[in-house]
Amino acid sequence: MAALDVDVHGPAPATAGWGQARCAGRRGCRFQVTCQVLIFANVSQQAVHDTLRHRWGARMQCRLASLVRRLSNAVGFSPRGHSAADARRAAVLVCILFRAVCLVEMLVGVTSGLRASRIPAVYATASVGVFVLSVGLAAAYVRHGQIQLRLGLVDWCSAVVGLVVCATTLPPHLLLGTWAAWAGGYAVSSAAAAGLWAPSLGTALAASVSLGGVYFAAYGAAGVRDTGSLWANALVHPMYGLVAAVLYRYVMRLALNAEEANARAADSARQAERDRYRLAVHDVAGILGLLSRDSLPAATLVAVREQALQESNRLRQYLGDRRAARAERRCIGDALLGASATFTDLPIELLIDIGAPTQLQPEVLEKLERAVFTLLHNVRQHAGASLVVIHADARHHRWEVTVNDDGVGFDPGGVELGFGLSVQVRQELEAAGMTVAIDSSPGEGTRVSISGFAAESADV
């Protein structure tokens, strides 16, 4: 901003007080105008500064979040859908963060340790070496996705060396309660890491107990007389090692169980989808097979074509086309009429007056209708029947539907039931709470009985 000529006597007052200056003649007016310009400029500058700070702050937050995500993906700590591997990487990350905290505290305390150390060169060399080694170990942990045994042993040895160096180079009064003696905290992080790299719980406990023993022996030999604090600090090492080992193995067990459960769920989902698909296309495949026959009777051809149109609409509904939705079924009579309406080529006799008014849940009615449709389709393809009787009965909140034909029949115990009878009829109906009984013998036709309980309320 260009400088303004302000003709006033004495030192210039603060900006906040300029607006309160008195106008005295011409110079006073010049001063008042100048003050107003400066105040406006100052306020505008502050507003611009706040706006830029807000925008740059939000942009910086977005960039930092993006950087963190990229780093996580680069080092392999982003979830990959494998529970055990993700749990192992998460444990390694916690271990690295624990060590990072120790290193930060060590950097703060090293300066005072260097001033008080009896052998500064050895103390400084050990401090720098431990820092560089920790960074290298962290990179190796990230690369392998776990703490390998050989790397864990290197970390354990560095903790032992650090304890000995601090005990021999620092005066006794700095060995307790200060981070100048950084080896104590460093050894605790190494004891916790042993819980991850040790092949067994006993090995982890032995590694951490030995670190506690080295701590107690080295600091005690250095002249620390507070044995109570020495014992307490020494016991921290096996406690951390034991807790880390138990927690790590528990989390890994949970992760492995989760992987197995996810695998079973995926298999079940794939099998359920296959079964659902087979249920949807089983009868359609039979209808298409009939349409491909050159010698199909005219009456049967008309019925099959009508069924093909009906099944086409049902498949569209299966694929999510709501326009193809069929009329809702509310009672057994609706289901049986819907299942048999297109079998005009079969000699069907409906005896359903007694059971027709019985109301069922919509999903039960849909399965019942599909099952009866499959039974009639089997009669058309395999039975060669001259009469098919569909009977519906109901008494005391229990209903029964039977489909009886006088066709060729079969031996249920001597042949394996096909997909239609075994899955689309028996399995699907029994899963919906119904009971299915199949009675047949060669040359005497087939009788399939379906029974269940009526809905408790009329408003289904």
Q: Cα angle vertex 10, ends 7, 13, to 5°?
A: 85
* Averaged pLDDT for residues 404-412: 88
pLDDT at 16 over 90: no
Q: Cα angle vertex 264, ends 258, 266, to 5°?
A: 100
Reported as half-sphere exposure (CB side, CA atoms, 13 A), residue 65 has a value of: 6
Give CA separation, 319 vs 31, 187, 276, 305, in Å.
81, 62, 12, 21
Q: Distance between alpha carbon 13 and the CA centroid of its chain, in Å? A: 64
Residue 6 lies in a domain: no
- Residue 452 main-chain phi, psi, to 5 deg: -175, -170
More confident residue, 420 or 221: 221
More confident residue, 292 or 98: 98
Out of 233, 262, 291, a domain closes at 262
* Averaged pLDDT for residues 376-396: 88
Residue 228 token pair: 């109570």
Residue 306 lies in a domain: no
Range from 59-73, 172-186, 209-223, 418-432 carrying the lowest mean pLDDT:
59-73
The answer to whether residues 118 and 211 belong to one domain is yes
* Averaged pLDDT for residues 125-135: 95
Residue 270 lies in a domain: no
The reported pLDDT for the residue numbered 129 is 95
The answer to whether residues 107 and 247 belong to one domain is yes
pLDDT grade for 303, boundaries at 50, 70 and 90? confident
Identity of the highest mean pLDDT range in 41-55, 61-75, 252-266: 252-266
The reported pLDDT for the residue numbered 456 is 59
DSSP 26-44: HHHHHHHHHHHHHHHHHHH
More confident residue, 304 or 242: 242
Distance CA 276, CA 288 (A): 19
The answer to whether residues 99 and 66 belong to one domain is no
Domain holding 418, by residue range, is 329-460
Out of 228, 262, 296, a domain closes at 262
Edge-to-edge strand ranges of the sheet holding 446-453:
348-351, 388-395, 398-405, 446-453, 435-440
Range from 106-115, 328-337, 355-364 carrying the lowest mean pLDDT:
328-337
pLDDT in tens, 77-91: 444 556 788 888 889
With 0-12 / 13-18 / 19 or more C-beta atoms within 10 angstroms meaning exposed / middle / buried, residue 150 is: exposed
Residue 276 lies in a domain: no
Distance CA 263, CA 257 (A): 10
Reference 156, options 105, 213, 89; nearest CA is 213
Residue 309 lies in a domain: no
- The count of domains in the chain is 3
The answer to whether residues 34 and 113 belong to one domain is no
* Averaged pLDDT for residues 130-135: 94
The answer to whether residues 112 and 225 belong to one domain is yes
Residue 321 lies in a domain: no
The answer to whether residues 66 and 121 belong to one domain is no
The answer to whether residues 176 and 47 belong to one domain is no
The reported pLDDT for the residue numbered 42 is 43
Residue 193 lies in a domain: yes
Distance CA 307, CA 336 (A): 15
Q: Rounded to the nearest 10 degrees, how much is the dihedral formed by the CA atoms of 190, 195, 198, 204?
A: 90
The answer to whether residues 413 and 448 belong to one domain is yes
More confident residue, 159 or 9: 159
The answer to whether residues 244 and 111 belong to one domain is yes
The answer to whether residues 28 and 120 belong to one domain is no
Residue 129 lies in a domain: yes
